[in-house]
Amino acid sequence: MATDRGELTSYEYRQMRARTLAASDVCIVCGHGGSDAADHVHPVSKGGARRDPDNLAPIHGVAGCPVCLRKCNSEKGNRPLAEVVQLVTSVDWFAGP
């Protein structure tokens, strides 16, 4: 199945991505800060809106999370957020004393 990824380089998409990351850099998968990418919460391949700002959320991209070392975007893939195993903890063990 061929998908049109040309949207990722469009000015409109880059502006939405920048606004999303400016509003928050907390990853939707692991909950740690420092996200460097924006991902569709409801995948476009599953009927999600391509250019809806409400369908974009911060996520750690290719470099992964500097805290838990997960490759959040790769783990999410094209699954809805509800199907992804999210990091749940009451203590941030990496925060230090």
Neighbours of 97 (CB within 10 A): 2
The answer, yes or no, to whether residue 10 has pLDDT greater than 60, is yes
∠ Cα 35 63 48 (to 5°): 55
For 15-33, write each residue's pLDDT tens digit.
999 999 999 999 999 989 9
Determine the Cα–Cα distance for residues 2 and 83; give it in Å rounded to an integer.
24
Query: Are 43 and 84 a contacting pair, CB within 8 Å?
Result: no
pLDDT digits (tens, 9 = 90+) for 35-50: 999 999 999 888 888 8
Q: Residue 63 CA to chain centroid, in angstroms?
A: 12
Maximum Cα–Cα distance across the chain: 50
Average pLDDT, the chain: 84
